[in-house]
Structure 1
Amino acid sequence: MTEFLFILTNVMLPIAIIVFIGYVAQLRLQLDRPTLGKLMVNYIIPGFIFMNLYSSDIDFSLLLYIMIFLFIFALLSYAVSRIIAAVFGVKGQHTVLFTNSSLFYNAGNYGVPVNDLVFKSDPFAMSVQVMMVVFQNIIAYSYGIFVLSAENVGKFKALLGYFKMPIFYGLFLGLIFNYFNIGLPTPVISSLDYIRDAMIGMVLFILGTQIAGIRFRHLRFTAFIATAVKLLVIPAMALPMLLLFNVEGVVAQAILITTAMPASVNSSVIAQQYSSDPEYAAEIVMMSTLLSAITLPLVIYTALNVF
């Protein structure tokens, strides 16, 4: 119980405070949320990803193993969420939104701060988190858009769109500079360190503004089911898979904790642009974000005591 209370007060509460500040600021000041989102995607996260990969001691064989695991787990998550959606009579585009809520979790502007606090700014743990952020962005801006926009945008164009994102180049250059041990001038490193240090506070603030901007008129029963799948079923699936794949230590802990993150705001953003009922995605994002304050500490406690 003492460890559980420690997680609540030292991990969840600091995050909740900054998210709440962003939420209130958005309600009072009506900040330009699209601009804040562009700031995060094009400036803060790419710099953060580059510096964490550049400065981490990366085992590239482990990196490949993690990506293979995440891909297999995504396929399993997709299959299970589709089956549950069918059981509860979810149809049409709602099936896609239901499934997306299980596939796309908030590994970035929620998962990164949690990782930073749980593992006390451990660079290795954060490098694992970065891999999950990148994987989430790949499937969100490829598959996530494909299934909703094929008739409007086209799959090839959607895929090309990902390779135009600075996040991709932060990942690619970070790995290249690390692998070939390429040095950077001290002023450049200092500048990138400032960007990395700004990551936690900024993304949590922006998450609060994004939540404040979510609008829906009612809550549907199947949205509650989708929330339960995301917060309970998906991490419950991840635990035996990690044991089966013999993933251990910090790597297993970081992956399990991240699978318990709420549905990504990306799923709502994509639905706003490409779905005929974006409020359905917004319901799931809002409920899973709020209820994760209850479920996530339980998963963190489990991860730290099992692995």
Structure 2
Amino acid sequence: MNHVTPIAILIGIGMMLQKIFKLEVKTLTKIILYLFLPAALLEMTYKSRISLETFFIVLLFLTIFYAVMLLIIEIYIRIRRLGKGMKGAVRNSVILDNNGNYGIPLNQLVFMNEPFALSIQIIVLMVQTVLLNTFGIYNVMGNLNLKQTLKTILMFPSIYCLAVALILNYLGVGIPSILAIPLNYLSDGFLAVALVTLGVQMGSMKWKLGNMDAIVTISLKLIIAPMVGLCIIFLLNIHGIAGQALILTCTVPTSLTGVLLAVEFDSESDFASQAAFSSTIASVVTVSLWIYVMQFL
């Protein structure tokens, strides 16, 4: 509860600003996608300390987890016979999660800054970044051919920042203070700007109460996903902090950055915003319950 309340306050501030000033959502979105997000990703990845063994265990877990979740999503899409835009929106809302500006602080709170637990969260964030900039962009650009989609993917700086951070981390190369200081400022500002921007988008959207697809998406994200993660933990025989940290990554709500992509490319942005906001609010209850369950792993 204490972790989610500040998030809700910042979103509320964004909604209030939109009602008063009628802000341009796309401008804010571009600032985040091309500046704040790459900076935050570069700094967090650069500062992380990750062993090869941990990396491969987490990668195996995530491969199975995403495969199972995609199978469930595709079954639902076929049953509902969703249109092309909604197919991508539902996929992104379930697969892309808020492991950056929600999962990292949550991990630090639950595990009290335990380095091993945080390293697992960082690996998940890396994988999510790759998914966001490939799978996520592909889903919001359903009308473009593969060549155009790849061209758009390569325009986003996050992938390059991830690669640079990994190389610098591996080689032990320091970042000059003249670059490190502004990088730190941008990284620190990412969470607040992203949440306020979500609030601005929420303030400009048309709400549809009782949206069946939104309800199912939120249920898949907050209830089914952690249950799938729990089954995989037992299947792979992962115990202790590693198992708890992996389960925690499955409990976080829908990605805010996925909403920004939907806004940027005019692809079901109202649905994406509703799914992200509603899952964030509902996570106050669900995350608390899963943290309790984690104690018995």
TM-score range for the pair, normalised by the shorter chain length? 0.7 to 0.9
Classify 1:90/1:235 alpha carbon distance in 2 versus 1 (closer, same or farther; 3 Å): farther
The two structures have a TM-score, normalised by structure 1, of 0.81
Aligned with 1:134 (options 126, 131, 145): 126
Which of 40, 48, 59 is matched with 1:48 structurally?
Answer: 40
RMSD after superposition = 2.9
Q: For the residues of structure 2 that align with 1:55 and 1:21, how far apart are their CA atoms? A: 31
Offset at residue 175 of structure 1 (A): 0.7
Deviations 1:214-269 (A, max 9, x none): 33344333431222111111111111212322444444334322322222345555
- Output the amino acid matched with 1:156: K
1:105-159 CA distance string (max 9 Å, x none): 2223333443344344556544433433332233234233435535x32223323
Match of 2:152 among 158, 161, 169: 161
Asked whether the 8 Å contact 1:216–1:282 carries over to 2, the reply is no
1:65 partnered with 2:22: no
Give SS of 1:291's match. helix
Asked whether the 8 Å contact 1:142–1:162 carries over to 2, the reply is yes
Equivalenced residues, count:
295
Query: Take 1:215 and 1:113, find their aligned partners in 2: how far apart are those partners?
Result: 31
1:258 to 249, 261, 264: 249
Q: For residues 25-80 of structure 1, what are the alpha-carbon distances to aligned partners after superposition, in whole Å with 9 as ceiling and x for unaligned?
A: 23323333222222222222222222222222221342243233223211110102
Q: Distance in 2 between matches of 1:81 and 1:167?
A: 26
- The secondary structure found in structure 1 opposite 2:99 is coil
Q: TM-score normalised to the size of structure 2?
A: 0.83
Q: Does 1:189 align with 2:180?
A: yes
Q: Partner letter of residue 27 of structure 1?
A: K
Residue 195 (structure 2) aligns with: 204
Q: How does 1:1-307 map to 2 (within 5 A)?
A: 8-9=1-2, 11-86=3-78, 89-93=80-84, 94-121=86-113, 124-147=116-139, 149-150=141-142, 152-271=143-262, 273=265, 275=267, 279-303=270-294, 305-307=295-297
> Residues 223 and 283 of structure 1 are in contact (CA less than 8 Å); yes or no, is this contact kept in structure 2?
yes
What is the identity, as a one-letter code, of the residue corresponding to 1:194?
A: Y
Distance 1:23 1:269, change over 3 A: same
Verify the 8 A CA contact 1:52 1:127 in the aligned structure 2: no
Counterpart of 1:199 in structure 2: which amino acid? F
Q: 1:122 to 1:162 in 2, by over 3 A?
A: farther
Contact 1:47 1:192 in 2 (8 A): yes
Change (3 A) 1:251 1:174: farther
**Local SS of the residue matching 1:301:** helix
Give the whole-Å Cα distance in 1 for the aligned partners of 2:189 and 2:161: 16
1:145 and 1:163, CA in 2 relative to 1: closer, same or farther beyond 3 A?
closer
Distance in 1, Cα, partners of 2:271 & 2:195: 23
